[in-house]
A and B are shown apart, each in its own frame.
Chain A
Amino acid sequence: MEKLKSYTVAIFAILAGWHLLAVILNIQALPSPIIVMVDFTRLVQGELSRHFAVSLYRVGVSILLGVALALPAGLILGREEWLDRFVAPIVFVLYPIPKIVFLPVLLLLLGLGNLSKIVLITVIVFFQILVTTRDAAKEIPGQSVMSMESLGATSWQIYKHVVYPASLPKMFTALRIASGTAIAVLFFAESFATEEGLGYFIMDAWSRFNYSDMFGGIVAMALMGLLIYELLDVVERRACAWAKL
């Protein structure tokens, strides 16, 4: 409830600032939020919902895939030094490369549909989660592992009871940051050679000089970001209740 209140206040503040700016600038490209909101209620009943669903699907699947691949890989790299010595240099060479430059290759190889976009965003999420969980797993105190060993734990049990839960809070922090990047990249990927998704919707409205539609698309994108952020929050609260104590 407290959260809803603060979100309401925040949204009103943003809308007020936006409105003020629109009045001052008085240009077509920046319509007042009042016009956009009226348009938005109409758009939601029509095609915008479909584009929203397509984009959410792409980002959602990418985040799930990215985590599913990067979390175990990062934990293993963080704990198994012999493997890390070989793999870490590869990761650090690839990490700073803006993965978006691979979009043309991916479009050629995987087609114009969902797959190329999902693979691109998955790769971006993958690297951010991989680097963070690897470092988190490395930082686990030796005594924690020792105390597990003294109980007679196998290495799989040490992963399950210590390495994984200890690294989870940092993984979620990385995931929040990665989800922002994921949406930004999604927009870019959807503005090329496609007819579905919020990126397409925004770029299409822009090319038609329909600025209230364009801003309707931007509002939808902001809402999608907020939805993902809040979903992550709910999952984190359940998975790492102990970290909030």
Chain B
Amino acid sequence: MSHVELSGVGVDYTNLGRTVTALDGVDLSIPAGDALAIIGPSGCGKSTLLYVLSGLVKESRGTVAIDGELLAGRRLQTALILQDYGLFPWKTVYNNAALGLRVRRVVKMEIEARVGKILRGLGLWEMRERYPAQLSGGQRQRVAIARSLALDPDLLLMDEPFSSLDALTREDLQNTVLEIWRERNANGASGGLNGDKAAPLTIVLVTHSIEEASFLGRRIAVMGDNPGTIATLVENDEMGDIDYRKTPGFYDHCSMLRGLLKNGGESGALQPDAEGGVRGEA
């Protein structure tokens, strides 16, 4: 279970003696099993927000609580996927995927069982002896996903995970993430890729792609020009199906998001739309 609660979170960096505010006054509640996409222009602090959730960056103000407990540094059930550098070129696919478990000193037999199952599920088993340099970009991000899933997380954080991939590969991987999320959150379903546990999986995805946010975000936090605040939170109840991408509703949703982004995240100029529902944050 992971219910994430941020209240009044702010982050200041000191850069060359000057204090830069990357985040300010972020209030956000993410229920367990949610899929939240965070979208916004470069430099709006969306990655910083993700790092705060991961425990790698400590908030300067406010509180971050997961499952009712204040976040103090890293948390074992949180997995993070980065755009680059996540995989190590000196480790084979298998060793990259197993790294998190090795670091946590999981018994070898269990690592073999868990990693084997996940690699098979993601179509990577045949490539387990290869090095990242011998893989395509899409396969590499699959390995990064495999490594995160091996940790059996209940909170999966992704920082622009597919932005360096070509369009079709990107959609393919978005489908994979959606399937994983749906399997883990289907009522009474047993497990999915990860075994028999049916603990809900919460996904927080940082992206600059409107389509990606609409496709993977059940809720979408739009961050504004005003650095470091969440301007609008958009509901996106229609998502959840692979074919959503092809529906008119998807296009409508994308253009609505585009409008919000152009307005610097302020929803004032927009009429709340009947189904999507635009809700401005005070």
Contacts and interface: CB of A to CB of B under 8 A. Distances in A.
Contacts of B147: 151
A161 B79 contact: no
Majority SS at the chain A contact face = helix
A147 B80 contact: yes
B18 interface: no
A242 B90 contact: yes
A147 B82 CA distance: 7
Contacts of A162: 88
Contact of B134 (A141, A147, A150, A245): A245
A151 B54 contact: no
B74 to A, nearest CB: 6
A138 to B, nearest CB: 16
Nearest to A141: B85
Contacts of B84: 143
Interface stretch (B36-44, B97-105, B258-266): B97-105
A201 to B, nearest CB: 42
B103 A150 contact: no
Contact of B56 (A149, A165, A166): A149
Interface residues of A, number: 23
Contacts of A166: 88, 90
Contacts of B76: 152
A148 B85 contact: no
A170 B186 CA distance: 49
A143 B103 CA distance: 17
B142 to A, nearest CB: 16
Contacts of B78: 150
A157 interface: yes
Interface in B243-259: none
B88 A150 contact: no
B123 interface: no
B88 A151 contact: no
Contact of A242 (B54, B99, B131, B151): B131
Contact of B74 (A150, A165, A168, A242): A150
Given A152-B103, A245-B134, A144 B80 contact: no
A161 B100 CA distance: 11
B56 A146 contact: yes
A240 interface: yes
Contacts of B91: 161, 165, 242
A62 to B, nearest CB: 28
Contact of B85 (A144, A149, A151, A152): A144
Contacts of B79: 150
Contact of B88 (A154, A165, A168, A241): A165
A161 B88 contact: yes
A102 B50 CA distance: 56
Contacts of A245: 89, 131, 133-134
Contact of A150 (B80, B89, B104): B80
Contacts of A148: 103
Nearest to B100: A151
Nearest to A239: B90
B86 interface: yes
A153 interface: yes
Contacts of A242: 89-91, 131, 133
B99 A161 contact: yes
B138 to A, nearest CB: 18
16 contacts: A143-B84, A146-B82, A147-B82, A149-B74, A151-B99, A151-B104, A151-B147, A152-B104, A161-B91, A162-B88, A165-B88, A241-B131, A242-B133, A243-B89, A245-B131, A245-B134
Given A166-B88, A245-B131, 10 more contacts: A143-B85, A144-B88, A150-B54, A150-B56, A150-B74, A152-B104, A161-B88, A162-B88, A168-B90, A240-B90
Interface of A: 141, 143-144, 146-154, 157, 161-162, 165-166, 168, 240-243, 245
